Structure 1
Amino acid sequence: MRVLVPIDGSDCSFAALDYAIDLYNMGGVSLHVVHITDYETDASEALLEKATEKLDAVGIDTEPELITSLGLDSPKASVKIGEHIVSLLEDGDYDQVIIGRHGERGRLEDFLLGSTSETIVQHTPVPVTVIPA
């Protein structure tokens, strides 16, 4: 089973990675970890390093991927990220996605800002496991 794990550096995204690692340890799972951002920065490098350390600690030999080519300057960047993750799922022959979701937000906030996890849940072709904050 191929599992995609998007991370954004938040506690809930690393909780999703921990959950995916637990699933990997049960056997029969390969993980692909991805971080999507506008630019490669010290912060993005630090979160990729943290993810790599978590994977290495349990013997998972995979490098997290950094994607910086989406142009995320719009207020709906989270929707754009969600749409790109859905594209990855469609094109990458994945069986599942495991993603963290930030705390409770209101409808107005979702309307104005969008939600990466909500976009994925609504449009994905594979099962989604959402790990709350």
Structure 2
Amino acid sequence: MVSRILVPFDASAPSEAALRFAFEQFPDASVAVLHVVEPFADHTDAGSEHDRHRWRERATGMAEEHFDEARAIATEYDASIETDWRYGRPGHEVVAHAATGDYDHVVMGSHGRSGIERLMLGSVAETTIRRAGVPVTVIPET
């Protein structure tokens, strides 16, 4: 029985579909939404303390906007969610969070990239499937 689900969420159509799938298929499970802020040059700790603080405020604000969207979806299912955000490579952060959060399932969307685009960008879903210690359900982009 699935009792605790992790749903990586970036407010994209596939992540919204994954969240809806989690509520529909596992109505009695506890659902946690994770947003991962990917590292970019302007996200580094280079610069002043003010720059680091300003970046963290922007990242927190962006995560909260995504969480508001996820909460709106949860409300449609008369459910609630836990939320958390991390900074790093999404595939690695999802796997690490799944391992430390006592989850027994991950439900995630996939953008369906293939070919050279997948090789260049990597695949968060593929990394999660290969490395997560729990079952992973991938909802494809429709």
Superposition TM-score tier, normalisation by shorter sequence: 0.7 to 0.9
* CA offsets 1:51-85 (integer angstroms, 9 cap, x no match): 11111232223243233x33xxxxxxxxx211111
Please give the residue correspondences for 1:26-41 in structure 2 after superposition, counting only pairs within 5 Å. Answer: 27=28, 29-38=29-38, 39-40=58-59
**In the alignment, which residue of structure 2 is the partner of 1:14?**
16
Contact kept, 8 Å, 1:24 with 1:31, in 2: the verdict is no
Offset at residue 97 of structure 1 (A) = 0.2
**In the alignment, which residue of structure 2 is the partner of 1:24?**
26
Which of 118, 128, 133 is equivalent to 2:136?
128
- Say whether 1:55 aligns with 2:74: yes
- Say whether 1:105 aligns with 2:124: no
Structure 2: runs of 5+ lacking an equivalent: 39-57
Contact kept, 8 Å, 1:52 with 1:63, in 2: the verdict is no
Q: Which amino acid aligns with 2:18?
A: A
Structure 1: runs of 5+ lacking an equivalent: 71-79
* CA offsets 1:91-130 (integer angstroms, 9 cap, x no match): 1111110000002411x22222111111001111110100
Cα distance, 1:42–1:59 mapped onto 2, change above 3 Å: same
Relative to the length of structure 2, the TM-score reads 0.75
**In the alignment, which residue of structure 2 is the partner of 1:92?**
101
Tell me the C-alpha RMSD between the 2 structures.
1.8
Question: Matched residues in 2 for 1:102 and 1:128: separation?
Answer: 15
Q: Which amino acid aligns with 2:71?
A: T
Q: Which amino acid aligns with 2:92?
A: E
**In the alignment, which residue of structure 1 is the partner of 2:43?**
none
Question: Matched residues in 2 for 1:19 and 1:11: separation?
Answer: 12
Which of 91, 101, 104 is equivalent to 1:82?
91
Relative to the length of structure 1, the TM-score reads 0.80
Question: Matched residues in 2 for 1:129 and 1:93: separation?
Answer: 17
Offset at residue 48 of structure 1 (A) = 1.5
Contact kept, 8 Å, 1:52 with 1:64, in 2: the verdict is no
